Structure 1
C-alpha cells in the first residue's frame, strides 16, 4: 500500500481531522480488512514507513512451549519455541513473531472491504469530533434553518454541518414553524445513533432557554454584574426570573427590563409573547416567597419545612393566585415551597378600622363644623 501517508494527509486536511487520529483509523481499517479476508481469529499489525510512505502489514504469532497444544491446534496463531528459534535465536516464550503479508495481493475483494472500512472509521472520527464540539455547547443557544416539519409536528433544523430536531413536546405552545424559518433554541443534548449518525436535540421550553436569552439581551448579565439566580416557566404563558446584583449601583430588575421594557419585550417576543416577571432574589426564604407572589401585597410569611404559609389581605388573594392559578404555581416553582394562602381581614395598606364602610362612620356636616 504505497503513498499511504499522502492519503492520510489528504483525508485529514479535507475533513479537518488530526493526522494521528486519521493514521490510527487507517491502521484499524487495514487490520479489520485483513481479519475479514484471512480470518477473524488471526492477529495483525500495521506499520507505516515514513521514508517510503508505505503501509506494511504483518501477521502476528505468539511463541509457546514445545508441548503447548495450541501450537498444533492453532498453528496460524501460535508457534513452538524450537521453531521460533530457527527464525530468531533470541526469542523467548511469550514473544511475538511477525510475518509480512502481501496485502495488495489479496485481490479485488480485499480492496472493496478496505474502502468500506476506511469510509466507516473516518466517518466515526468526524462524528466523534462533532460530538465533542457540540457537547461543549449543551445548555447554550444555537440557531439554524428549518428544513422540514413532519406529520407529528417535529421540526428538523439544519445547523452548520449537523442536523437537529426540535420535538413537538419541546416547542412553545401556540408556535409553529415552516421550511426556511430561522429557529433559536437551547441545545438539550447531542446524540450519536448507530443508524442515523450524530444529531442534536433542541428545546424552547426549558427555563435555561429564557436564561440564555436574557444573557444575550442584557449586557449586565453577560458581564456578571447581574446574576440570574432562578427561573421558572410555564412555556408560552408566563415566567418568573429571580435576579441579584453584584454591584449596589445596579438595579437587577431595572437592568433586565430595560428602558420602557425594551429588553424584556425582546425576550418575550422570542418566546411567542410569554409574559416575564422579574423579581429581586433574596436568600431569606420569607422575603423571597413574598416577592415571588408579586404583584400581590403580602402581610407575612411563615416557613414550615417545605411549606410556606402566606398571610395576605382579602383583596390580594386573587392577585397572588393569578389567572388559572398560574402566579402561585410559578411562585411555588421558583421558591421550591408549597404555598398556602391565609386570608386576613381588611385590604392592602388599610387597617381594619380604616376599612369600615362610610355608612358605619359618624356623619359630619358643614353645619356641625360651624356650631357654637
Structure 2
C-alpha cells in the first residue's frame, strides 16, 4: 500500500476531484475490504502517515478485567490484564490497535478492493456533479437535443449528463428536434434511485427571463440593477420590475438598450414574448401604478392584500389587456389582488378571478 498516495492523486486528477475527498473515499473502501477479508465484527482504522504510506489497523477496546462484555464479545473487547501483556502503558478505555495488511492476500481481496474503490469514487463523482448543478439552479445552460419522446419531453445533453425539458415547461408552440441547440434555465435537480441524477429544465419560468436579462444586460449581471420581481405568461407577455442601486444608472434605459437592442434579443429567445419593463418602488401605490402600464391610473387604494385601482373608462381596456393579460401580470408582479374601479360608473372588475388565475398559473408552471 506504499503507492496509495500516487493512486489517490491519479484518481483526483483524472476525475477532477479534491484530493482530500478522494483520500476519505479510499479509506472507506479499504475498511470495507478489511471487513470482507478479516471479518465484519472488528473495528478498523486507516491512516496515511507522513511518508504517504497507508496503514490498516484493527481496533479493540480495553475493558476492566471483570467487565461482562468480555464473556460475550472477545473480538471487539480485551481485558486490561491481557492488553498490558501487549503494551504495558495502556489503560481501561484505551484502544489497542493491530496493524494488518491487505498485501499478498490473493485475488479475492484485490477484486473486492477494486470494486469498493470503483463504487465509492463513482458515488463521489455523482455527489460533485449533483452539487455542481444544484448550485446552477436558476441559471441558464446550453445543450444539444438528443431525443424527443412520445410525450414531447425534450432530452438535452449538457456536459456530464442528460437533462430533460418537460413539455409543460416549453413555450407554447415551440418544438425541438434532434441536433437543435436549446437554451433553458435549470429549474430543479434531484436524485432518482433507478435513474441517478436528474436535471429538469424550463423555458417558461420567470427565472429564465431573469437569467436571459442578466446575460444580456451588464448592469444587471454586475449588480448595478436588481431584478426585484418578474411575471410571465410564456410566449405572450411578461413584466419585470427593476431597481437601480445608483442614481447614475437608468434601470429601464439600460435594460431596454439603444433602440431596444437588449430587450429585443431577450424577446426573440422567448418566441417574441412582449416584455414590459417597469421601475420598482417600495411604495405599493406607486409600484402598482407603474405595473398597470400602459393604462393610466387615477388612484390606488390598498386594502390588505387587495389594491383597488381607480381609472377612467377610456383606460379600462388597456388596464385589463387582451384576455385579461395585463391585469393578471400586474397582480403577479406586485403580489396584490387588483380590483378595477371605473370612475364615473358602477362597473368593477373583481380581482378575485385574477388572483385565482394567478395561483392557477403559478401552479401550472410550478414556479415561485
**Could you state the TM-score of these two structures normalised by the residue count of structure 1?**
0.85
Structure 1 residue aligned with 2:128: 129
Change in CA separation of 1:29 and 1:331 when aligned onto 2, cut-off 3 Å: same
Structure 1 residue aligned with 2:356: none
Q: Is 1:322 matched with 2:329?
A: no
Q: For residues 140 and 188 of structure 2, what CA distance do their matches in structure 1 show?
A: 12
Structure 2 residue aligned with 1:370: none
Structure 1 residue aligned with 2:27: 27
Question: Alpha-carbon deviation of 1:192?
Answer: 3.8
Change in CA separation of 1:312 and 1:110 when aligned onto 2, cut-off 3 Å: same
Q: How does 1:4-19 map to 2 (within 5 A)?
A: 4-19=4-19
Q: For residues 325 and 2 of structure 1, what CA distance do their matches in structure 2 show?
A: 73
- Aligned 8 A contact 2:308 2:338 in 1: yes
The C-alpha deviation readout for 1:135-188, integer Å capped at 9, x for no partner, is 333222221222222222222222222332222232222222222221222222
Structure 1 residue aligned with 2:65: 66
Structure 2 residue aligned with 1:258: 257
Structure 1 residue aligned with 2:359: none
Q: How does 1:131-150 map to 2 (within 5 A)?
A: 131-150=130-149
Q: For residues 121 and 70 of structure 2, what CA distance do their matches in structure 1 show?
A: 37
Which has the larger displacement, 116-125 or 247-256?
247-256
- Aligned 8 A contact 2:220 2:227 in 1: yes
Structure 1 residue aligned with 2:343: 344
- Aligned 8 A contact 1:135 1:190 in 2: yes
Q: How does 1:164-243 map to 2 (within 5 A)?
A: 164-243=163-242
- Aligned 8 A contact 1:5 1:50 in 2: no
Question: Alpha-carbon deviation of 1:301?
Answer: 1.6
Q: For residues 48 and 16 of structure 2, what CA distance do their matches in structure 1 show?
A: 21
Structure 1 residue aligned with 2:99: 100
Q: For residues 87 and 125 of structure 1, what CA distance do their matches in structure 2 show?
A: 39
Unmatched 5+ residue regions in structure 2?
Answer: 346-368
Structure 1 runs (4+) deviating above 6 angstroms are: none
Q: For residues 49 and 228 of structure 2, what CA distance do their matches in structure 1 show?
A: 58
- Aligned 8 A contact 2:41 2:75 in 1: no
Q: For residues 316 and 190 of structure 2, what CA distance do their matches in structure 1 show?
A: 47
The C-alpha deviation readout for 1:192-244, integer Å capped at 9, x for no partner, is 44443334222222212111211221233234443322211111221111223
The C-alpha deviation readout for 1:274-309, integer Å capped at 9, x for no partner, is 111112223322222222122222222211111111
Residue-pair matches, total: 345
Structure 2 residue aligned with 1:286: 285
| CA-atom RMSD in angstroms | 2.2
The C-alpha deviation readout for 1:76-119, integer Å capped at 9, x for no partner, is 11111111111111111111112233423443222222111101
**Could you state the TM-score of these two structures normalised by the residue count of structure 2?**
0.86
